[in-house]
Structure 1
């Protein structure tokens, strides 16, 4: 896995790395490997995951076909910026 560090901005590179690791499932696998999982528990978990995936796929298909209403989209909540930090819509008075 490669992450480019631009303008010596290590913090941004770390954020990008964490996001990539999250997408790849590295954190989930690390958590799973912390303790031993019995084969029967693993089968049960994988079967439950398969059921969840199948239900999600069926739900998406039903929404596409118009059989059920699409879920309401969550509204983005804008947090006020910290004092002294000018955002894109704010301008600093000099």
Structure 2
């Protein structure tokens, strides 16, 4: 995997590399291969993950149908200025 370093900006190149590795699933695979996982533990982990995905999908559907309120919007007015001058 290659990442171009532009204008000697190594920090930005590292961020781009990290993003690419996460998209490819390399980080997840490294974490999984770090130690042996028993088949029973794998089933438990995958089942918990499936339950989380199902809950998330149900919550999204309920919000879409208007059954529950969505997340509160963040108040950005406090971040706009600095110190007491903005308040």
TM-score of the aligned structures, taking structure 1 as reference length: 0.67
Change (3 A) 1:37 1:8: same
Give the number of the structure with larger relative contact order, counting CA–CA contacts within 8 Å between residues 6 or more apart: 2
Tell me the distance in 2 between the aligned counterparts of 1:35 and 1:25: 17
Query: What SS does the corresponding residue of 1:4 show, helix, strand or coil?
Result: coil
Query: What SS does the corresponding residue of 2:69 show, helix, strand or coil?
Result: coil
Residue 43 of structure 1, CA deviation: 1.1
Tell me the distance in 2 between the aligned counterparts of 1:24 and 1:73: 31
Task: Specify every segment of 5 or more residues in structure 2 that has no aligned partner in the other structure, as ranges.
Answer: 80-87
Query: What SS does the corresponding residue of 1:23 show, helix, strand or coil?
Result: helix
Q: Report how many aligned residue pairs link the two structures.
A: 78
Tell me the distance in 2 between the aligned counterparts of 1:44 and 1:75: 39
Moved more, 51-60 or 7-16: 7-16
1:23-70 deviations in whole A, cap 9, x for unaligned?
333222211211100111111111110111011011111111111111
TM-score of the aligned structures, taking structure 2 as reference length: 0.72
